Structure 1
């Protein structure tokens, strides 16, 4: 039997219609040294059955775990990591697919001193498709990559990356947090790397639908604070001591994301205004110059939120309709 080099972990909840293509996108790359671990997070539909049906094509390479109770994506990924045998770990969401060449590309990119790889993505919203990539490209030290992620210059997603297993530890993501947990885990993992290679090639297709969690719920400010606390707790001390300004920019970025979700939500005008007001109170104008230098889009959004919250909300809704169409509904 071929030794497992790469483990692809797929957390799944209510994914009976998409889990089959997700699994197939990994298997069709033809790597006998790759395993797929699907973690069904106590789905009430036929997600587990659909995953097992897809696994029948490669029963020695696809493993389906079922959690007894819904625990959230962080717990599902952690359960998959505990089962994984590969020295390289990649994550994939159950409604997305890896594109041909993902596995070979990240394997080649993980040379002797490179511990993590970032790739580009293809974003599909219905019939609309566009390609995106992190702003920072090339080789970075782990601390440089972590600070770039804090400034939104490296994407917050785990599914467009591959990590050497030791970067993830035993607690790769904060538990009990349902937004921003991805970014927190990515920042900490990158901070532990010797070198990170960032590539522009779009090798994952991210599929946005009206049912996506991103569009359906306004994050709690407590979730932002929990994610920031996870980063502060788990960053290596040498990185944490030099990243105070980056942490302040990260706080601003997450606060803007909460405000954007509120502007898009269907919670009603009063609820939306209450969240926007709370976010404005959380923002510090002193951070704006640093944000404008390192993450211009977030800095401009924060400045607009502070000065003209109604205009901020209108701008968010207009931009989202242009980029995502029907998927932008709350």
Structure 2
């Protein structure tokens, strides 16, 4: 292994037999001496580990390590990868996604030129089950070609874009370590949403590359399979849990306002998702719990947040969209009967749509 490693690529994997070969092939074919690949096998009971070992044996010029652990979830796997890593920068890749050709070289060039604390990139939502338009390009709103400095330049676009995936930012390893390990919260969904903003708040500089880093695989699954009380709670809690960390980092009123705007949108998504659960007293209690987490996680008052939405002060929303979001948040907070009926109907329709999509994908 070389004395100096530029990038550590960390791949958490659990029962990834169906995807791991393709994922690793896309990484290994562009690895050089400045890269290492660490696969954390999170208690797989299929042949994921054997496939990783076979890929490593077929690429002896690449620095590949397989680390096995009991199944503890993706957050613990990410933490384990960070503790194993030796590279200057960390790139996370999920085991079912595809790192695009030439991206390691592009990242190395940005590191050599700018040595930023963080690098942001574009990506594509990838729908392999679709025959038409399987790729949806997602561009970030950072300006390209310049080094961005400070919280406002880094965090305002981040919360406006609301693309909070761990793999979408390549960050200096020492910044992760300085925050203390373990960093990703164990036992919770949306562990990246709860962690990456905190890490970015510790960054002084960021460079944006308007290039597609990877194809982010979307699975054709039933919406009822995804919906659970823990999903609804953890989705809102991910942002709410960040508040004390951002306070300690001393973020500006501008960042706080954008954070509160994003929190409103995530709250609304969580509440709408809850209508996919069976209607009962527990569901109403769940919505009350989600509401309390949301309100407790805001920097300002809910009235201030709604005013910012209604007056077009949220970067990512135009005046019309902001007013629509504010109206729906008010309805959700007051348990409006009209809102409940509308969301119940919408959720039933989406469930039907996804079931139909799944049937079509199986027939093709």
TM-score bracket, normalised by the shorter chain, equals 0.7 to 0.9
Q: Report the counterpart of residue 335 of structure 2 in structure 1.
A: none
Q: Report the counterpart of residue 171 of structure 1 in structure 2.
A: 181
Q: CA deviation at 1:76?
A: 0.5
Candidates 127, 137, 141, aligned match of 1:131: 137
User: Matched residue pairs, number?
Assistant: 324
TM-superposition CA deviations, 1:237-284 (whole Å, max 9, x none): 322787443443343233223224324x4x334476665565567563
Matched, 1:65 2:67: yes
TM-score by length of 2: 0.76
Q: CA deviation at 1:45?
A: 2.3
Q: 1:243 to 1:131 in 2, by over 3 A?
A: closer
Q: CA deviation at 1:129?
A: 1.6
TM-score by length of 1: 0.83
Q: Report the counterpart of residue 188 of structure 1 in structure 2.
A: 198
Q: 1:51 to 1:215 in 2, by over 3 A?
A: farther
Matched, 1:290 2:298: no
Unaligned runs of 5+ in 2: 296-301, 332-338, 360-364
Q: CA deviation at 1:206?
A: 0.2
Quick check: which has more Rg, 1 or 2? Answer: 2
Q: Which moved more, 1:241-250 or 1:166-175?
A: 241-250
Q: 1:62 to 1:254 in 2, by over 3 A?
A: same
Partners of 2:209 and 2:120 in 1: CA distance: 6
Q: Report the counterpart of residue 357 of structure 2 in structure 1.
A: 326
Partners of 1:82 and 1:212 in 2: CA distance: 35
Candidates 250, 256, 263, aligned match of 1:238: 250
Q: Report the counterpart of residue 106 of structure 1 in structure 2.
A: 107
Q: Report the counterpart of residue 91 of structure 2 in structure 1.
A: 90
Unaligned runs of 5+ in 1: none
Alpha carbons 1:6, 1:90 under 8 Å: kept: yes
Q: 1:320 to 1:129 in 2, by over 3 A?
A: farther
Q: 1:243 to 1:177 in 2, by over 3 A?
A: farther
Partners of 2:249 and 2:347 in 1: CA distance: 37
Partners of 2:5 and 2:195 in 1: CA distance: 24
Matched, 1:256 2:265: no
Q: Which SS does the other structure have where 2:241 is aligned? A: helix
Q: Which SS does the other structure have where 1:171 is aligned? A: coil
Partners of 1:64 and 1:120 in 2: CA distance: 28
Alpha carbons 2:156, 2:254 under 8 Å: kept: no
Computed over aligned residues only, the root mean square deviation of the Cα atoms, in angstroms, reads 3.4
Alpha carbons 2:142, 2:208 under 8 Å: kept: yes
Q: Which SS does the other structure have where 1:114 is aligned? A: coil
Partners of 2:222 and 2:149 in 1: CA distance: 33
Q: Report the counterpart of residue 157 of structure 2 in structure 1.
A: 148
Partners of 2:109 and 2:224 in 1: CA distance: 32
Q: 1:89 to 1:178 in 2, by over 3 A?
A: same
Partners of 1:215 and 1:205 in 2: CA distance: 23
